[in-house]
Every structure is written in structure tokens, then in C-alpha cells.
Amino acid sequence: MLLSIFTSLYQALIGKNDDPIYEDEVFFSVGLFTIIIALAVGILFYLGIGRWKAIFCHLKHWIVSLLIVLVVTGLLALQQAKSATQAEVFDAYMVRFAMFNALFAIIWFFLFSLLLKRFSIFSKHTPF
């Protein structure tokens, strides 16, 4: 079920690729790890440093966490697509896939932030 959700989502936004490896391996693994990374960074921000010291409760720290999620998930998607297809260089589809995956990661991180911020001591009002 998750495989079809990730495949449908990615193909609806970036188009279908002729290489079946994207449907068979890349979309599911990257989509799943994107959610896991966004959740892990959210937990670290709100339940880790959000309970540790009051100095890490500002919007700029949340934005740094968001940028970490953005970069890590974008690079993950790019590298996984290149590795699975055994390509020598990155092609336009891989770059587009990585960009949309990073966008999905931002959305997931934002949603996890809404859920997790209530469990924080100092970051209850971050990002708003």
C-alpha cells in the first residue's frame, strides 16, 4: 500500500520514468526514509534540545533543523536514484525527484512539528 502511495505521489508531480527501477525500489525506500528523517529531526528538536535548554527554542533553530531535513533528504533521493539506476551522472529526472522529495520532507517536518511541539518544554511555540 505504501509503495503505491509513494509511487502515485512522485509520478503525479514529477512524471513517469521509463526505468521501472524507480517504481520497484527508489520511490518506496526514499519516501519511507524521508518520513523517518523528518520525524527523527522533529523528535530531536522538540524532545531533545527543546527540553534541554531554553536558548534553542527560537525560530532560527527550527529553520536550521528544517534546512538539515531539506539537505539530507534531497541528497538521499539524489544518491539513491543514481545508485539504483547505476547512472554515471545525475540526470534531470533525478534532480527533479530530489527537489520534490526535499519539498515533501519540509511538509512532513512541518506536520511533525505541529504534533511534537506540545511535548516540548521550551519550544512549545516554535515555529509559531
Question: What value does the mean pLDDT take over residues 32-44?
Answer: 97
Task: Flag whether 125 is in a domain.
Answer: no
Is residue 43 pLDDT above 80, yes or no? yes
Q: 3 pLDDT band (50/70/90 cuts)?
A: low
- For residue 40, the model assigns a pLDDT of 98
| Number of compact structural domains in the chain | 1
Range of the domain at 50: 2-15+25-119
Evaluate whether 113 touches 46 at the Cβ level (below 8 Å).
yes
- For residue 51, the model assigns a pLDDT of 74
Cell of 125: 511555540
Task: Flag whether 126 is in a domain.
Answer: no
State what percent of residues in the chain have pLDDT above 90. 64
- pLDDT one-digit tens code per residue, 52-95: 777 777 889 999 999 999 999 999 999 999 999 998 999 999 99
Residues 6+ apart with CB under 8 A from 98: 74, 75, 77, 78, 81
Task: Flag whether 100 is in a domain.
Answer: yes
Residues 6+ apart with CB under 8 A from 104: 9, 31, 34, 73
Task: Flag whether 127 is in a domain.
Answer: no
Task: Flag whether 128 is in a domain.
Answer: no
Task: Flag whether 48 is in a domain.
Answer: yes
Task: Flag whether 64 is in a domain.
Answer: yes
State how far the Cα of 81 lies from the Cα of 96, in Å rounded to an integer.
11
Place of cell 506540545: 118
Task: Flag whether 111 is in a domain.
Answer: yes
